[in-house]
C-alpha cells in the first residue's frame, strides 16, 4: 500500500516505543518522515533504515525547538500532511500528594503543552485534508489510582484533541489514540523495572478482554488509519487501542 506517497509526516518521540512503529508504518506506505526526538542518536538510527527520512533533535517542551522542527519539515519536504504528536512521559506510580511539583509540571509540559506548540506552528504549513494525531491513553478515560497526574494529563490530551477538531475544521482533522499498557520502554520507566513480574503481567492482561497488551504496531496501524482517506470523516475521535480494557 502507498496511501501516503508524496505525503510529509512529522513524528515526535520517534526514537523509541510507539514512535518507532509509527515512523516505520508511514514510511512503509510511501511517506517522507521527519523524526523528532530529544534522543538524536536514536532518531538517526531509525531514520537510517527508511527510504526518505530526516532526524532532528527536538525537546518538545521547548517553543523554539518546535519552531525549528516545523521549519525542518518544510525545508525538507515542503509541507506537513500529518503531525504525529506522540512524545510523552509517564511517572512511577505514587499518590499525587507524594509527587514533586516540578515532576508534575514537567509531565504536563511534555504530555500536553507540546501538542499545543506543535499544532500552533504547524497549521500554516498543513494543506486542506491534513491530520493532527496525538497519543493519549486509555488512562485518560479509565484512570487507575496512583497515577492521578498522568491520568489527568492524558485526559487533557483527549479534550485538547476534541477542541482542536472544532477549531481547525473543516481543513484539518484532529484525532487521538488511547492505548492500553504496552511492553515498551515507556511502561518500564513507569514501573522502574526491567520487565514486569509474572504476577504484574497477569494482573494487567486479566483486565484486557482480548488477552494481551497493546503492541506498538497496533498503535501505528491506528495512526495510519486516522491519517488516511478511509478516516476522512473522522475528527475529534479518541480511538481506544485497548483490547476492550475500557469496557
Mind telling me the catalytic residues?
150
Query: Grid coordinates representing 154?
Result: 492524558
Query: Grid coordinates representing 155?
Result: 485526559
Beta strands in 127-226, from DSSP E residues, in sequence order: 130-135, 172-179
Query: Grid coordinates representing 168?
Result: 481547525
Name the DSSP class of 113. I
Distance CA 112, CA 91 (A): 15
**3-class secondary structure, 12:** strand
Using an 8 Å Cβ cutoff, are 79 and 9 in contact?
no
Amino acid at each position: 500500500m502507498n496511501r501516503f506517497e508524496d505525503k510529509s509526516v512529522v513524528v515526535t518521540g520517534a526514537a523509541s516505543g510507539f514512535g518507532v512503529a509509527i515512523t516505520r508504518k508511514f514510511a512503509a506506505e510511501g511517506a517522507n518522515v521527519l523524526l523528532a526526538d530529544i534522543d538524536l542518536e536514536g532518531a538517526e538510527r531509525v531514520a537510517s533504515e527508511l527510504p526518505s527520512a530526516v532526524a532532528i533533535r527536538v525537546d518538545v517542551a521547548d517553543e523554539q525547538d518546535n519552531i525549528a522542527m516545523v521549519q525542518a519539515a518544510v525545508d525538507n519536504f515542503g509541507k506537513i500532511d500529518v503531525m504525529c504528536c506522540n512524545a510523552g512521559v509517564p511517572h512511577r506510580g505514587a499518590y499525587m500528594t507524594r509527587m514533586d511539583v516540578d515532576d508534575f509540571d514537567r509531565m504536563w509540559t511534555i504530555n500536553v503543552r507540546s501538542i499545543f506548540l506543535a499544532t500552533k506552528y504547524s497549521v500554516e504549513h498543513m494543506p486542506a485534508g491534513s491530520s493532527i494525531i496525538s497519543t493519549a491513553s486509555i488512562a485518560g478515560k479509565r484512570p487507575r489510582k496512583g497515577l492521578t497526574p498522568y491520568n489527568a494529563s492524558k485526559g487533557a490530551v483527549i479534550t485538547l484533541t476534541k477542541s482542536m477538531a472544532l477549531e481547525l475544521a473543516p481543513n484539518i482533522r484532529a484525532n487521538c489514540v488511547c492505548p492500553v499498557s504496552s511492553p515498551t520502554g515507556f511502561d518500564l520507566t513507569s514501573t522502574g523495572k526491567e520487565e514486569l513480574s509474572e504476577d504484574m503481567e497477569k494482573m494487567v492482561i486479566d483486565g484486557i478482554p482480548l488477552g494481551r497488551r497493546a503492541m506498538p504496531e497496533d498503535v501505528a496501524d491506528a495512526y495510519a488509519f486516522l491519517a488516511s482517506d478511509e478516516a476522512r470523516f473522522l475528527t475529534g475521535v479518541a480511538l481506544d487501542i485497548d483490547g476492550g480494557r475500557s469496557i
